Structure 1
Amino acid sequence: MTHLPKGADIPVPVRALQVAVAWRTGPGVPDVDISALLLDAGGRVRGDADLVFYNHGKHASGAVRHLGRSAPGAPGSPAADWLWLDLGRVEPTVERVVIAASADGGVFGQVPDLDIRVTDTAGAPAAYFAIGDATTETAFLFGEFLRRDGGWSFRAVGQGYVSGLAGLATDFGIVAEAPPEPVPGPGYVPPPPPGPGHAPPPPGPGYAQPLTSPISPVAPVTPVESYPPAPTHAAPAPPTPPSALADPFSVSFRPSVHQGRGKETVHCDPAIPPGWALLEIESSHSISTTIESCDEHGRAADFLLTAYEDDVRARTVAVVPRGRPLTLRVEADTPWNLRVLPLTHARRFDSHIEGVAHDLVVYDGPPAVLDFVHHGRCDFTVHQHTPPAEPAYDAEDQELLVKEVGEVRVSAPVSGPGLLRISGDGPWKCSVRR
C-alpha cells in the first residue's frame, strides 16, 4: 500500500473504491464516524445533501454511500468506519470529495493507530495516510479526492478541527442554524434579566452553532456499549407489551461491515436488536456466493442467499435471534464484503419497482396483486416475509409467492405489508395491481 506523507497526492483508479478511517479500540478510546463532503469548483457544498454520513447514508447521485462500522472486537483490536465511493459516478459539477471524521465522546488525541486507507472493492490498496499528530481535535479532515486531467487523485490533508463535525461542515457551506427555543411548560417562571455587567460572554474561537438540518450529527438511535449510559435519576419506564413493540420495518442500529475470503463464520454485533436485518454482499469472479444463518452452536442452518453471477451485488434478509448475536456463514471463492444494515436501508415501493438479480424490498401497502417480469435464464423466486403477530414469542412467516424459470411474466397475490425477497439472474420489474 502506498504510504503518503502529509500534503502528498497520488492518482487513484476511476472506479468503485472503499475508503476506511481506521483506529485501534481500547478503554477510553472514542468511536470514530467517517463522512464525505462533495464540493463544487468554489470549494463549497451545493446543499446539505452533499454531506454523507451515518445519518444521511447515501448521496442522491449514487456515487457515495456510508457502509458502516466494522463489527466491534475485543479491546485493542482494529476498528474502521467505511465509505463506498464510485468516482466514475461523481457528478461533473463536483470537483472534490473530502473525507472527514468526527470523534464520538472524546478527542482524536485519544485515538491510537489512526489512519485512512483507500482500496478497490477487491481489497487491492490504492492509498494510505497515517495521522500521528492529533491532540484536542474533535473532527479531522483526513484527505480529499481531486479531479486531475480527466482523472482523479487522492491527497493526504490531515487538518484538525476543535469544533467537531458542525464546525468542519460549516467551513464547506453547510448552513448551521440555532435550535428553536424550548416551549415553556405549565408553571414556568422566567428567570430575572441579567443585571449590569452580567451579559453573557460572546462565543469563543472555533464556536459553531449546532446543526439542525437533516444532516445534524446526532448520535444513532440505538445505543451501544461504548456510549454514555442513560441518566439513572428518572423513574424506569414500564415494560412494553409484546403487541406494542417497535415497527419491525423501522428498527435502527449501527451498520457494520465484514470482509473475508473463502468460507468464514461472521459473528455480528451483539447490540443488533432481535428482528430483521438487511444483508448486503458484494463479490466478483466467484463460482458461487452463499450466505447461511447459523444456530446457537454455530452450525449452518438455513440458506439466506445463493448467487451464481460473476459480479454479485445482492441483498437478502436475516432474522436476528433473541438472546444471542446473529451468526452467519459466508462463502465465496474470491474476497467478499458483507454489510449488516437496518431495514431502513432497504428499498420501498407501493406501485412499481425494478431491480437486477437478488434484492430485498419493503412492501408496506394493503393486500394487492403483484405483476412480475423477469428477464433471465435460471430460477426466479419471490418470497414474502411477514412480521409475527407477537414479536416476543412468534417467528416470522414466510410464503413462496413465485417460483419460475427463465423469461417470466407472472402475477401473485400479496396479503399486506411485508418483505419481498426477490431472487433471479437478470433484470426484473414489479408493479402493484389493487
Structure 2
Amino acid sequence: MLASELKDTTVAGDRIDQLVAGHRPGHGLARAFYLDPEIYERDLERVFRRHWHCVAHESAIPNANDFEVFRMASEQVIVTRTASGEIHAMLNVCRHRGAEVCTKDKGNARAFVCPYHAWTYGNDGALKAARLMPKDFKREDHGLKKLNVRVVEGLIFISFAAEPLDFSEVERLLRATCGQYGWGSAKIAHRQSYAIDANWKLAVENYVECYHCGPAHPEYSETHALEQPLHLIEELNARMEARTCALGIEVASGNHWQNSTGGKETIHAFRYALYDGVQTGSKDGQALSTLMGRFTDFDGGVTSIHLGGTTFLVCYPDHGMIYRFIPKTAETSEMELIWLVDGKAEEGRDYDLEKLTWLWKVTTDEDKAIIEHTSRGVRSHYFVPGPIAPMEQNELRYINWYLDEISRPA
C-alpha cells in the first residue's frame, strides 16, 4: 500500500470511529452510516467477512455435481455438491489471472474450466489441469479459494473468515428449533429476490422491529400478534406454549445475541403466538401445506431466529421462511426470500404455491416500499435520527451490536 493510501485509510478510520463515538444512545444511526462508501467498506470487512451467512437450503443443489453461484457485494461464491454428496463453497476467481471460472448461475458439472486460459478445477475446488505450465508447477497449491462451510438442518452457511467464529452454539440452537420443524428434510418451494434501493442496514432494521407492523402491514397484522402491547402478547404466548407442550414438542428459545469479542457467532431464537384460532401465516390463517417435523397439529405459534446479522428464519408448523439480506453497494441491497415445505409435499396436491407465498410476498412488497421511502429520506442533509420506540427494542439491540462490530478491528 502506498504511503498516501495508508494516510487516506487512517483518516477514514479516524472519521468513522468518531462517528461511532458520537452516536447518541437510544437513537437511530446517523445519515453517514447509510450513505458513506468508506463505512460500507468497513461493513464488508467487519460484518460480512467476519460472520456466518446462510446462502440457501441444501435442496437448492439436491443432486450430485449440482452447483449454484451466490453473490454478495463484489464476491461470487460457488456452492457445490460433489459426487460423494459433500457440500463445498469456493470463490469464483481463477487462481491464475482472476477470471470467473464458473460462467453460469447454476447447473450440474464435475469441473469448471476457466474461459480465459482453460485452467480446470474439480467441483471440490482442486486444480485438475493447468495447460503448458512448467514441470515444477504444483497444482495442489493453486486450487480455488475455499470458504468455511457448515450444513445444519439443511441450511448451508458460509464464512469468509480465515478463522471463523465458533458455530457450535448456533448449531445446537438450530437443531432445537429448525430441527423440531423438520427443516433437515424440507425442500425449497419457491425463491424470490427483491432489489432494494437502500443500504443493507435499512432493510435489516426494518425487518427486526414490528413497531411498523400495525400501520404498514395490515395483512400480516390480521394473523400475527407482534404489534400488540407486551402484556397481551404474553397472554397469547402462554396459551401457545401450552398447545405446543400438549403435542409433546419442546421448541427451544435462546438469547445468545453477542458481539464477536468472545469468538462466537450470534443468534437469538424466540417464540411468539398467532391470534387464537390462527394456524399459520396465511391469508385466512388456515393451513397452507402438510405438517413438518415433529408437528402432528398446529400450535398457533411461530419461531423466529436472528443469526449472524444477515440471516433471519421463520418457522411455522407447515412451512418455513429464510430471509437473506445481501449488500450490493453503499446505497443498494437485495433481499432474498426462500419458502420451505416438507420434502414429500407436492405442489398442487399438498399446497397451492400462490397461497403459500401470498402473505410474505405482500409483506415484502410493502417492506420494499417502506425501506426505499426511508432511504430517500435519510439522504437529506437535514436528516437527524430520532429516538427508538420501546417496541423497537430489537432494532436498538441490532444498532448497538452493529456499532460494536465495526468498532472492532478485523
Same fold (TM over 0.5): no
Q: Which has the higher strand share?
A: 1
Q: Name the structure, 1 or 2, with higher relative contact order (CA <8 Å, separation 6+).
A: 2
- Bigger fraction of residues in helix: 2
**Greater C-alpha radius of gyration:** 1
